Amino acid sequence: MSFVAKIGAIVTFSAWDATRAAAIIEAEAHRDGALLPVLHALSRAFGHVPDEAVPIVASTLNITRAEVHGVLTFYHDFHREPPLPHMLKLCRAEACQARGGEALAAWAQTRLAGCDTVALEAVYCLGLCASGPAALLDGRPVARLDPARLDRLLAEKAR
Amino acid sequence: MSLRLYVPGDAAAVAVGADEVAAALDAAAAVRNVALDIVRNGSRGVFELETLVEVETAAGRIGYGPIDPGEAPALLDAALLDGGTHPKRIGRPEDLPFLARQTRLTFARCGITDPLSIGDYRRHGGLTGLERAVALGPSAIVEAVTSSGLRGRGGAGFPTGIKLRTVAEAVAPQKYVVCNADEGDSGTFADRMIMEGDPFLLIEGMAIAGLAVGATRGFIYVRSEYPHAIAALERAIPTARAAGLLGRRVGGSERAFDVEVRVGAGAYVCGEETALLESLEGRRGQVRAKPPLPAHQGLFGQPTVINNVLSLAAIPFILAEGADAYCDYGMGRSRGTMPIQLAGNIRNGGLFETAFGVTLGELVEDIGGGARSGRPVKAVQVGGPLGAYFPPTLFDTPFDYEAFAARDGLIGHGGVVVFDDTVDLARQARFAMEFCAIESCGKCTPCRIGSVRGAEVLDRIISGEAVEANIALVEDLCHTLRLGSLCALGGFTPFPVLSALKHFPEDFGAYKMNAAE
């Protein structure tokens, strides 16, 4: 199948490895304005940006650790803690609100309270605004959600 | 000969099972020993019909939708009968009233072609604009875009030709073309659809802009919430290079131009052009003070054309068909077409490209079919989270930059979000402040602190505490936000708040009684 099939694939993250991190950073460092690509690449490999990576990023890009910290903490996408195995990014923006998104969010919060396998995050718009409520489940877009459909999708992840 | 089927690869189709439909069709074909050629096209933009499967027949393409994976075997049997009967057969998609009523200039190919086939692109009119641009030369390109009347489709509506001219006239060692694909407004998805459904169009528009101003490098800054758009562009760019659309001799000219995709990181404010440039440079997405304008000192301090996806994607048509062909559509100072996005609680949601001038009421009631819930429409938010809430009494407003501004609204990026009568506008006003607080870049005080205070005061109003005094406070705060903020995030958050107060006072508790006295 085409490129779209690959996106929802389950990703397993590596444990911290300083040598690997240095290689990842080095591979992106030649770009102009490389910091965001570097932090994305580290997140893809480790699931988050470990504190140990910050000084390596700073010295490779010749910027201060404070600058790296500033960028790392500014953007919603970057995480400093290891992730749970699964991530549900549920859209909370107006177009999904208009289609029952808030009731679904309340339900999901109850359903996933204390859950140690699926993290729930708010996201503001996935561009699926005529098919909401919508979410990204492990990076894969899902729409026309209601509690029953979301339950089925989460059950597949629990398996 | 194999049977050709079209199953959209657009995220809105994938989100309702298009990949599973394609896989099920493959499996059903294997059982029947039939050779299938499945094209993953873009979406036609009729989302109620996704997954919309189309079959190529002697009489043109025949659509079936919405198709669930379980329906694939029966659908294949119908398809094998040259577009035969099936309960979900809709006939030729282009005959659907929703599509037949549109004027698709920018979206002419979206949903029809294979997005990653440069041959398909060329057969459907692609690359003609670039060829004309190469023949015309820089100043004539700028002149064509200027006289087409094209204005920035990201929301600000600044004339695109003037931006091009400013950068063209600048003298610098390096110039850039930056595409703002950080489409964060709720209710909008046109940029996403173009990037996924016709990526060469955007690349061609950027290449033409590069030729016009003498830029050799381009960046497409795409939000991370759009993984399919990123994947489509990453696949389209090498093909574009191989076809001479990018590279050292763009379109056979003596000029070089190449583009690179950069991925955002979940900050709404990076849709603001100077915050986007900061982010591209590897910094926090904080807004810059203007001047200097990006056209003078933009990316890495160099002259930069920065435009929305839809603005750049309109340029190939203007070059191919002439400025007049574009300018002939529209009204007043809003020329050409606008890809309008019908979203939220609406029966016929989707992409509706049409000339400026269509009224809000036609869009919502006539074309959109009213609320999907079947309840009365109470409010429509046009232009994303910074746009005003309009009641049905303003449905006679024509879709036009100036007409919306005259009624204290904005068309923004063309998103129309419909709410039925269960919506509480006091809560929507509070959400606007909350959203501003979450997404504020923190640089200017009115936005950073005003939004937090605004949400708190609206909470008091919602709980019925000193309603009249607190409404006066919110109005005063909105005045400060509007005049004192550095960019549109703080500056326009008053639009949803004040419009909710003005048009829906009954939702603000005691305010209604006070206002009536």
Chain B residues close to A124, C-beta within 8 Å: 184, 186, 268, 385, 435, 438-439
Instruction: Identify the pLDDT of residue B330.
Output: 96
Residue A157: pLDDT over 90:
no
Tell me the pLDDT band of B350, cut-offs 50, 70 and 90: very high
Q: What is the pLDDT of residues B179-236, one digit of tens each?
A: 999 999 999 999 999 999 999 999 999 999 999 999 999 999 999 999 999 999 999 9
Residue B510: pLDDT over 80:
no
**Is A145 inside a domain boundary?**
yes
Q: Looking at residues B449-471, what average pLDDT do you find?
A: 96
**Is A53 inside a domain boundary?**
yes
Residues A116 and A62 in one domain: no
A11-A101-B409 Cα angle (round to 5): 115
Instruction: Identify the pLDDT of residue B424.
Output: 97
Please judge whether A127 and B185 are an interchain contact, meaning their C-beta atoms are less than 8 angstroms apart: no
Q: What is the pLDDT of residues A63-96, one digit of tens each?
A: 999 999 999 999 999 999 999 999 999 999 999 9
Residues A52 and A112 in one domain: no
Residue A38: pLDDT over 80:
yes
Residues A46 and A90 in one domain: no
Residue B129: pLDDT over 90:
yes
Residue B79: pLDDT over 90:
no
Hey, what are B64's tokens? Answer: 């079936």
Please judge whether A130 and B428 are an interchain contact, meaning their C-beta atoms are less than 8 angstroms apart: no
Residues A97 and A140 in one domain: yes
Residue A3: pLDDT over 60:
no
Instruction: Identify the pLDDT of residue B81.
Output: 81
Q: Number of helices (H) and strands (E) in chain A: give both, helices first.
A: 8, 4
Instruction: Identify the pLDDT of residue B509.
Output: 80
| Residue among A38, A62, A74, A140 with most chain B CBs within 10 A, to mutate | A74
Residues A149 and A112 in one domain: yes
**Is A8 inside a domain boundary?**
no
- Alpha carbon distance A93, A126 (integer Å): 9
Instruction: Identify the pLDDT of residue B291.
Output: 95
- What is the set of domains in chain B, with CATH numbers? 3-100 (3.40.30.10), 118-327 (3.40.50.11540), 330-420 (3.10.20.600), 425-516 (1.20.1440.230)
Q: What phi and psi, each to the nearest 5 degrees, are found at residue A39?
A: -65, -35
Residue A114: CATH number of its domain: 3.40.30.10
CA-wise closest residue to B285 among B218, B215, B205, B224 = B224
Instruction: Identify the pLDDT of residue B82.
Output: 82
3-state per-residue secondary structure call for A26-90: HHHCCCCCCHHHHHHHHHHHHCCCCCCHHHHHHHHHCCCHHHHHHHHHHCCCCCCCCCCCEEEEE
Residues A31 and A61 in one domain: yes
Residue B462: pLDDT over 70:
yes
Strands (E), B148-216: 176-181
Hey, what are B242's tokens? Answer: 């191989």
- Alpha carbon distance A67, A64 (integer Å): 5
Tell me the pLDDT band of A101, cut-offs 50, 70 and 90: very high
- Alpha carbon distance A99, A103 (integer Å): 9
Among B16, B186, B418, beta carbon nearest to A144: B16
- Which 3 state secondary structure label does DSSP give B1? coil
Q: What is the pLDDT of residues B372-390, one digit of tens each?
A: 999 999 999 999 999 999 9
**Is A5 inside a domain boundary?**
no
CA-wise closest residue to B487 among B238, B269, B208, B259 = B269
Residues A36 and A99 in one domain: no
Instruction: Identify the pLDDT of residue A4.
Output: 35
Q: Are A119 and A83 in contact (CB under 8 A)?
A: yes
Q: What phi and psi, each to the nearest 5 degrees, are found at residue A18?
A: -65, -40
Instruction: Identify the pLDDT of residue B217.
Output: 98
Instruction: DSSP for B64-133, please give it.
Output: E-S--GGGHHHHHHHHHTTS---TTEEE-GGGSHHHHT---STTSSTTTS-TT-HHHHHHTTTTHHHHHH
Instruction: Classify burial at A116, counting beta carbons within 10 Å of its beta carbon; exposed 0-12, middle 13-18, buried 19 or more.
Output: exposed
Please judge whether A131 and B23 are an interchain contact, meaning their C-beta atoms are less than 8 angstroms apart: no
First-to-last alpha carbon distance for chain B, in angstroms, is 77
Q: What phi and psi, each to the nearest 5 degrees, are found at residue B2?
A: -95, 160
Sheet holding B258-263, edge to edge: B258-263, B217-222, B176-181, B304-308
Please judge whether A37 and B262 are an interchain contact, meaning their C-beta atoms are less than 8 angstroms apart: yes
Handedness of CA B64, B188, B218, B255 (dihedral sign): positive
**Is A136 inside a domain boundary?**
yes
Q: Looking at residues B323-342, what average pLDDT do you find?
A: 97
Q: Are B360 and B333 in contact (CB under 8 A)?
A: no
DSSP letter at B300?
A: G
Residue A158: pLDDT over 80:
no
Q: What is the pLDDT of residues B289-309, one digit of tens each?
A: 999 999 999 999 999 999 999
Residue B353: pLDDT over 60:
yes
Residue A7: pLDDT over 50:
no
Radius of gyration of chain A (CA): 18
Instruction: Identify the pLDDT of residue B24.
Output: 96
Hey, what are B503's tokens? Answer: 């048009």
Which residues, other chains included, contact B351 with Cβ-Cβ below 8 Å and sequence gap of 6+? B43, B45, B107, B110, B189, B190, B193, B339, B340, B341, B342
Q: In A, residues 66-95, which contact B (CB 8 Å cutoff)?
A: 67, 70-71, 74-78, 89, 93-95
Residues A68 and A96 in one domain: no
CA dihedral of A62, A65, A66, A69, whole degrees rounded to 10: 110
Among B40, B280, B417, beta carbon nearest to A98: B417
- End-of-domain residue from the set A43, A74, A105: A74
* Residue A70 belongs to domain spanning: 13-74
Residues A124 and A146 in one domain: yes
Tell me the pLDDT band of A159, cut-offs 50, 70 and 90: low
Residues A97 and A66 in one domain: no
- End-of-domain residue from the set A48, A74, A100: A74
**Is A45 inside a domain boundary?**
yes
- In chain A, the residue whose alpha carbon lies closest to the alpha carbon of B24 is A1
- Count how many domains chain A has: 2
Percent of chain B with pLDDT over 90: 96
- End-of-domain residue from the set A32, A54, A74: A74
Residues A21 and A47 in one domain: yes
- In chain B, the residue whose alpha carbon lies closest to the alpha carbon of A134 is B15
- Alpha carbon distance B449, B272 (integer Å): 19
**Is A146 inside a domain boundary?**
yes
For chain A, give the longest Cα–Cα distance: 51
- Alpha carbon distance B54, B7 (integer Å): 7
Instruction: Identify the pLDDT of residue B511.
Output: 52
Residues A52 and A103 in one domain: no
**Is A79 inside a domain boundary?**
no
Mean pLDDT over each residue of chain A, to the nearest integer: 92
Tell me the pLDDT band of A10, cut-offs 50, 70 and 90: low
